[in-house]
Each structure stands twice: as structure tokens, then as C-alpha cells.
């Protein structure tokens, strides 16, 4: 059985812009953002890529025409061979009735209700309805799909199926929390024997979205919502835990059934005014580092308090040992660690597709039927494009007046040469194998550096990434070595940078570049099965330096998608102060100019 999952709408940006004024930073709040495609054959995901990696438009919500084409071409499958096309949104007539009822039951004046009904109706008819989704697919692919082959999957269910599949398909309690699904923002329950049981009383309406509220605070602090929340999370570590939190006192109401209500106006000027009153802020203070740290700490504390409230209800309702956490809020790795350590769960999984790229995988999994995966199966995020030596040489020749290169004879030689470069203050672009899927660079499209260099974070932030100096970096470490360097708590591995751990005291001075200001690190663990090239490099680097990890950050500059092709890598290499570029077996250096 062949299933194609995808996420994205051709007219999303146009309709949200015209009908709801979603332009500028608001473009990242569209339904369908992080457009992607995934292909599943006989129960196994064989290809997946985000549209942004191919179109080079960051966080695009466009129909993923390039991603679909690549997924099919990568395994030699045509659309006529696909059994099901799965889409991770189900705006059914019942959902449409709920949308109408919410507008009619609101406190809006009558004329405003009619206006809202008109705009929502146009959005539904032209973009969200089954007929519109089908028409979009046919027009963009040029393929007359059998309408019965189109499967619309509820958004939160697609999130859950992605996490469940990548965790192996076993029984687990679950929490899904993101900006919005069709009408809700958070659900939780159990997955037993492949059957989903929702705790319906605990569902949270999208008007009380915790992720959206965090995003509004992100915007209030001058960052891009649904894109820069990790900056707020990182800033929070610069201050002490808040003694009292006006967000919990005046914005959040926790209910006995495990749900909650958040009272934040939708209008930008209105919620800026609310936050100014809560935080004693103004336009000048929002530019000040100490003020940003204070507000970030309050926002982070709010997330941790609300999710802890949800877990108390979930653990009372389920006796399962493992928690699956999916949705955009699951990228808050600081909160994730606290959720696990403060709960009765013995294990917690957050997938590399936890945010909206993953719903393309989840929709395909749902349509194909969730299956328990063999214990020997390797779960891999490396599902995107790869390039052979011929493609790489062709790209290098196009830049021959700007770069020189040497081809190493084998993988061991590549690892030794790269370890030699990294042992000093060199920053290396590392490009190997298939591109990672999801928002994190997991060692195939990465910028690597030596964490023993005290000012390496400043070097990379300012000279390479062109971004704020307070931003931390993630260390990558062999899974077997991780407990020796980091306090792992209940976790034995963290392969997707979705948890944060304290750096053991005896290593903080040895790897200062890997330590955030609070002594923690968002680590990536690596083993030989999942990424043999990166594991080999780590062994070579440690043998040469006695430093047990490397710094790993995404191979891109601020505002750009992670590189995908050799040409992308060369463009980024030449536009930054990256010292060397290692593509497959080619070690590349800039020509003296």
C-alpha cells in the first residue's frame, strides 16, 4: 500500500492576507504552515521533506508541489500508483457548523458577525472544504485524483499518529498541544492496541491556545511568532524563576477537569496593551535585554505550570508508563524535561516531527493504519534528498573560482580530517547523506564547532549565523557517552534535541561553548545505527582532543531555511565566515581573494 501525506494550501497566504490581514510576521500563523510531503510504502515512511528546503521560502504554507514531486521521484513512484492521498486537516461540515456557531454566539456586534461570517465562509469555500482541498491537489499536480482516494485526517490525530509511529507504535498516554487544529488547540488521552481514547472533557478550545499565547508574547518581545519561540525559551534562562506570575493570576484559569482557559485578546494592539499592563512595559522597555528576560521567564513559567496541570489529570486517568507529547508546543524542550521529571511517567517521547512538518507523516500513518514496528527497526529523521559524487562535483565546478577542494579516499579519512580542523577554532559546515526532516539540524546539514573554545558561541552567532548573541547551541554526543557528561534523569537518549539536561559540574569548564547560561544543554545523542558518519566523527574528535562532544547548529543563516542541496551549502558557506565545508568526501576551502 502506497500512501502520500502532505500539508499546505496554494491560496493560504493570499486568503489569510486579504481576509484577515495576515501579512508580515503574521504570515507564520497561517493554517498549513511548514508545508511538507511524506511517502509511506507498506507501513514504512521512505521519504519526507519540507517544501521550504526545496523552494527556499522559510516556513512556507504553500502547496508542497516540489516536496511531493521529490518524494515520488526518489522511489520511482507515480501518482497513478498511490493508493491514498492523506491530508492533515478535516474541516468537515460539522466543523463548519461549529465555526458558524462560535461566530454567532460571540460578543461581536451584529455587523461584525456578518463580516466574520462572510470572511470565514470565503475561507472555507475556497480553501478549507473537502472540495477546495481536492481541487487544489488536482490543479497543482495536474493529476485527476480519484476523489475516493483523498483522506482528510483531523489535525491533532495526524500529530498523534506521527509521534506514535516514530515511537514504535506501542501503548502510551498522549498530549497534543499546538497553535490550533480545526477548532481545538490541545487534546489528551490514551493509545491502546492502536485505539485512540480521547479525554474529551480536557480538550482546550483554540481561543485558549497556550502555544498562540506564547507566540503573542514572542511577538510582543520583537520576535517572529510561530518561528522564534525558542529565543524566548533561551532568554528565560538568564533570569531567576519568577516568585509570582501575573499571567497565571490574570490570564490563565485552570479547571478541575484538566483543561484551562486563557484570556488574551486577538487584536495585536489590544494584547500589547494587556502585556504592557501585566509586565509594566512600554515600547522602549521591550527593547531592553533585562525586560525581555523577565517577560520570557514569565512566559516559560506559564507553559510549565499549565502543562503540569494537564499532566496531573492525564496521569490520574491513565496507568500507562510512557507519554507521547506532540504539536508545536512540544518543541519547548525546557518544559519537556520538567514535564517528565515531575510526573509519574517513566518515559516520554517527542518526535523529530513534533511540530507541523510531522503532520504529513502522521496523516500518511493514519491512512495506512498504525502498526507496531519491529524492535530492530531504525527510526530515522534522515528522510530527505541526498546527492551523489557527480552532483557534488558539478556544484563545486560552478564555484571553482571561489573555492578549492580535496576529495578524501573514504569515510574514516573524512572523519579524521574534519576532526583535525575542528580541534582548533575552525567552524565547519557538515553536509552528509540524506537531509533531516523537521525543524532541527540533526547532523546531516549542520554547522559544527569545538565546544571547548570559550567564545565559540559568539563567533558562530555573530560571524556565521548572523543572529542574537544570547542564543545557545546544542552539543551532539555519542549516546553511550551522554550520561557521563550530562545529568540525563529518566532519559537514556535524546536523539532529536527535544530535551534539556544539566551539564555535569566537572564538564562545565571543559565544554563552555555547550553550556547555556544556566548550566544546561539541549543535547542530541547519536548512535552508530542512526548516523554512522556523525558517530565516526565524534569518536575521531574525542580521540584527538579528549572533548566528548561537538557543537551542532543548523546549516543556515538567520531567516533562511536549512540548506538542502550542495549548491545551497556552497552559497551559505561563501556568504558566512564558516572556515571549511565538508560535503560527503569533499573538504572545501575558500580561495584567497
For residue range 347-368, what is the model confidence (pLDDT) as tens digits? 999 999 999 999 999 999 999 9
pLDDT of residue 72: 98
440-488 residue pLDDT tens: 999 999 999 999 998 888 888 888 877 787 888 899 999 999 999 999 9
pLDDT of residue 436: 98
pLDDT of residue 353: 96
Task: Over range 299-313, report the average pLDDT.
Answer: 97
Q: Is 414 exposed, middle or buried (0-12, 13-18, 19+ CB in 10 A)?
A: buried
Long-range contacts (CB closer than 8 Å, 24 or more residues apart) made by 187-192: 187/156, 188/258, 188/310, 188/313, 188/314, 189/317, 189/318, 190/317, 190/318, 190/320, 191/160, 191/164, 191/324, 192/320
**Cβ count near 290 (within 10 Å):** 10
Task: Over range 98-122, report the average pLDDT.
Answer: 93
Task: Over range 197-204, report the average pLDDT.
Answer: 95
CB 453 within 8 A of CB 217: no
- The C-alpha atoms of residue 150 and residue 79 are separated, in whole angstroms, by 12
- Does 308 score more than 90 pLDDT? yes
Q: How high does pLDDT run on average in the chain?
A: 94
55-98 residue pLDDT tens: 999 999 999 999 999 999 999 999 999 999 999 999 999 999 99
pLDDT of residue 467: 75
pLDDT of residue 29: 66
pLDDT of residue 270: 94
383-434 residue pLDDT tens: 999 999 999 999 999 999 999 999 999 999 999 999 999 998 899 999 999 9
Pairing state between β 322-326 and 172-177:
parallel
pLDDT of residue 26: 65
17-45 residue pLDDT tens: 899 887 765 665 678 899 999 999 999 99
pLDDT of residue 593: 61
169-186 residue pLDDT tens: 899 999 999 999 999 999
Task: Over range 312-340, report the average pLDDT.
Answer: 96
CB 435 within 8 A of CB 445: yes
- The C-alpha atoms of residue 454 and residue 389 are separated, in whole angstroms, by 36
Lookup: cell for 149: 482516494
**Cβ count near 490 (within 10 Å):** 13
Q: Which residues contact 423 (CB under 8 A, 6 or more apart)?
A: 450, 541, 544, 545
pLDDT of residue 27: 64
- Does 562 score more than 90 pLDDT? yes
Lookup: cell for 247: 499571567
Q: Which residues contact 15 (CB under 8 A, 6 or more apart)?
A: 122, 123, 126, 127
- Does 290 score more than 70 pLDDT? yes
**Cβ count near 239 (within 10 Å):** 18
Long-range contacts (CB closer than 8 Å, 24 or more residues apart) made by 477-481: 477/523, 477/524, 477/525, 477/526, 477/538, 477/548, 477/549, 477/550, 478/525, 478/526, 478/527, 478/535, 478/538, 478/539, 478/542, 478/548, 479/525, 479/526, 479/527, 480/527, 481/542, 481/548, 481/549
Task: Over range 3-23, report the average pLDDT.
Answer: 91
- The C-alpha atoms of residue 208 and residue 181 are separated, in whole angstroms, by 12
Q: Is 241 exposed, middle or buried (0-12, 13-18, 19+ CB in 10 A)?
A: exposed
- Does 541 score more than 90 pLDDT? yes
Hey, what domains does the chain have and what are their CATH numbers?
2-161 (3.30.420.40), 169-350 (3.30.420.40), 389-590 (3.90.870.20)
pLDDT band at 108 (very low <50, low <70, confident <90, very high): confident
Amino acid at each position: 500500500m502506497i500512501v502520500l501525506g502532505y500539508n499546505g494550501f496554494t491560496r493560504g497566504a493570499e486568503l489569510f492576507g486579504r481576509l484577515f490581514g495576515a501579512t508580515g510576521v503574521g504570515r507564520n500563523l497561517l493554517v498549513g504552515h511548514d508545508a511538507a510531503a511524506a511517502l509511506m510504502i507498506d507501513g514504512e515512511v521512505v521519504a519526507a521533506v519540507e517544501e521550504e528546503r526545496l523552494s527556499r521560502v522559510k516556513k512556507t504554507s504553500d502547496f508542497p508541489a516540489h516536496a511531493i514531486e521529490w518524494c515520488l521521484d526518489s522511489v520511482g513512484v507515480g501518482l497513478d500508483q498511490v493508493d491514498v492521498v492523506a491530508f492533515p486537516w478535516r474541516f468537515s461540515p460539522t466543523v463548519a457548523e461549529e465555526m458558524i456557531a462560535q461566530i454567532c454566539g460571540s460578543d461581536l456586534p451584529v455587523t461584525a458577525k456578518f463580516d466574520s461570517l462572510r470572511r470565514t465562509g470565503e475561507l472555507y469555500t475556497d480553501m478549507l472544504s473537502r472540495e477546495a482541498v481536492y481541487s487544489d491537489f488536482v490543479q497543482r499536480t495536474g493529476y485527476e485524483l480519484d476523489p475516493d482516494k483523498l483522506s482528510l485526517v483531523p489535525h491533532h490525530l495526524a500529530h498523534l499518529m506521527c509521534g506514535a509511529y516514530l515511537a514504535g507504535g506501542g501503548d502510551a498516554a498522549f498530549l497534543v498541544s499546538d497553535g490550533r487544529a480545526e477548532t481545538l488547540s490541545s487534546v489528551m488521552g490514551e493509545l491502546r492496541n492502536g485505539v485512540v481514547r480521547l479525554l474529551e472533557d480536557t480538550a482546550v478550545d483554540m481561543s485558549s491556545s497556550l502555544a498562540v499565547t506564547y507566540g503573542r508574547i514572542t511577538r510582543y518581545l520583537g520576535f517572529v511568532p510561530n518561528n522564534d519561540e525558542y529565543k524566548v525559551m533561551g532568554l528565560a534562562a538568564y533570569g531567576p524563576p519568577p516568585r509570582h506570575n501575573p499571567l497565571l493570576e490574570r490570564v490563565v484559569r485552570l479547571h478541575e477537569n484538566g483543561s484551562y482557559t486563557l484570556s488574551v485578546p486577538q487584536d495585536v494592539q489590544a494584547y500589547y496593551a494587556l502585556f504592557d499592563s501585566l509586565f509594566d512595559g512600554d515600547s522602549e522597555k521591550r527593547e531592553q535585554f533585562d525586560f525581555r528576560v523577565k517577560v520570557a521567564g514569565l512566559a516559560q513559567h506559564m507553559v510549565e505550570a499549565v502543562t503540569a496541570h494537564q499532566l496531573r489529570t492525564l496521569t490520574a486517568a491513565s496507568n500507562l508508563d510512557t507519554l507521547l507529547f506532540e504539536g508545536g508546543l512540544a518543541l519547548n524542550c525546557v518544559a519537556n524535561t520538567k514535564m517528565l521529571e515531575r510526573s509519574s511517567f517513566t518515559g516520554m517521547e517527542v518526535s523529530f516531527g513534533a511540530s507541523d512538518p510531522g503532520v504529513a507523516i502522521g496523516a500518511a500513518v493514519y491512512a495506512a493504519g498504525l502498526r507496531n514496528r519491529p524492535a530492530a527497526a531504525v527510526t530515522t529523521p534522515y528522510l530527505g534528498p541526498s546527492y551523489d559524487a557527480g552532483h557534488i562535483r558539478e556544484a563545486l565546478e560552478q564555484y571553482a573560482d571561489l573555492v578549492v577542494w580535496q576529495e578524501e579516499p573514504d569515510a574514516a579519512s573524512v572523519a579524521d580530517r574534519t576532526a583535525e580542523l575542528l580541534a582548533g577554532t575552525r567552524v565547519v559546515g557538515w553536509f552528509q547523506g540524506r537531509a533531516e526532516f523537521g525543524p532541527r539540524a540533526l547532523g546531516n546539514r549542520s554547522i559544527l564547532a569545538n565546544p571547548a573554545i570559550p567564545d565559540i558561541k559568539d563567533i558562530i552567532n555573530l560571524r556565521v549565523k548572523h543572529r542574537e548573541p544570547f542564543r545557545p547551541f546544542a552539543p551532539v554526543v555519542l549516546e553511550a557517552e551522554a550520561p557521563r557528561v550530562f545529568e540525563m534523569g529518566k532519559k537514556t537518549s535524546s536523539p532529536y534535541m527535544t530535551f534539556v539536561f544539566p551539564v555535569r559540574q566537572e564538564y562545565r569548564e571543559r565544554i563552555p561553548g555547550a553550556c547555556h547560561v544556566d548550566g544546561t544543554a539541549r543535547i542530541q545523542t547519536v548512535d552508530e545505527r542512526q548516523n554512522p558518519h556523525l558517530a565516526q566523527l565524534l569518536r575521531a574528535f574525542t580521540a584527538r582532543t579528549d572533548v566528548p562532544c561537538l557543537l551542532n547548529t543548523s546549516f543556515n543563516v538567520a531567516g533562511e531555511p536549512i540548506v538542502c542541496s550542495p549548491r545551497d551549502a556552497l552559497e551559505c558557506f561563501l556568504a558566512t565566515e564558516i572556515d571549511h565545508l565538508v560535503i560527503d568526501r569533499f573538504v572545501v576551502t575558500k580561495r584567497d581573494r
